[in-house]
Amino acid sequence: MAQSPLIELDDVGKVFITGALRHEVLKHISLKIEEGEYLALMGPSGSGKSTLLNILGCLDVPSGGHYRLEGREIASRADAELARVRNQFFGFVFQSFNLLGRYTVEENVALPMVYRGLARRERLQRARDLLARVGLKDFTRHLPSELSGGMQQRVAIARALVNSPKVLFADEPTGNLDSKTGQEIISLFGELSAEGTTLVVVTHDPRVAEHARRVLTLIDGEIVGDKRNGEAA
């Protein structure tokens, strides 16, 4: 029996309603993501990239269609169950680093482990190990405000990895960084992909997308392109 894709969307749509206005953001999205894939979501502003990422990461639910994770339907599950799925399966990196300024770098990274019941010492050791992995072993006791933007994004990536997620989602992760620092983050994603992490990266920048192995293009809420890098368009 063939193994199910890690993620499968079937005819997924998303509609936002404000008063009398109805805005269809995603239309008839069907998509399979296999474990270990490195996928870039591209498209102009307003194309539905971030909405699709939010649905893939269970931060939002579709208005219609099916979402299967490891073969199990999850689109209709309750909020508490979706939160459990997020914590168990996914890690998130955003354009704004979302670090808590009053906590040290290692404390920020350790925060997602609080609900796993691990002792504080174990949480901080895991955080330090991941900070070393992203090149910040000498900055564990610093506050986020003492770090550059690129270093803060590395902290955010370490935090996203701390619960060993099956999928790392990133929404414009280089958007607030200069080109050199952005390239460092892209290189780190490449290393994570080579180690088997499944990556889904939203970007409007072709220089970011060219490092993914697969590029999905959205326009007006519809998939208009799905190709492997190196293939003809």
Q: What are the extents of the domains in the chain?
A: 36-62+78-228
Nearest to 35 by CA among 7, 56, 74: 7
User: Is the CB of residue 93 less than 8 Å from the CB of residue 160?
Assistant: yes
pLDDT along the chain (233 residues), means of 10: 84 92 94 96 93 94 94 88 89 91 95 83 94 94 95 94 94 89 91 94 90 95 90 53
What DSSP string describes 42-81? E-STTSSHHHHHHHHTTSS--SEEEEEETTEE-TT--HHH
SS3 of residue 126 by DSSP: helix
For 35, 45, 163, 221, the CA distances from 167, given in Å and listed in that order, are 8, 24, 11, 23
Ramachandran assignment for 78, one of left (phi > 0), alpha (psi -120 to 50 degrees), beta (any other): beta
Ramachandran assignment for 18, one of left (phi > 0), alpha (psi -120 to 50 degrees), beta (any other): beta
Give residue 2's pLDDT. 58
Q: What is the dihedral of CA 111, 103, 191, 188, to 10 degrees?
A: 140
Give residue 231's pLDDT. 61
First to last CA, the chain: 33
Nearest to 109 by CA among 88, 93, 96: 93
Give residue 176's pLDDT. 85
Q: Indicate the residue type of 221.
A: G
With tokens 């929404």, the residue in question is: 171
Q: What is the pTM assigned to this prediction? A: 0.91
Residues 173, 208: Cα–Cα separation, whole Å: 10
Which superfamily, per CATH, for 36-62+78-228? Answer: P-loop containing nucleotide triphosphate hydrolases (3.40.50.300)
With tokens 């239309």, the residue in question is: 27
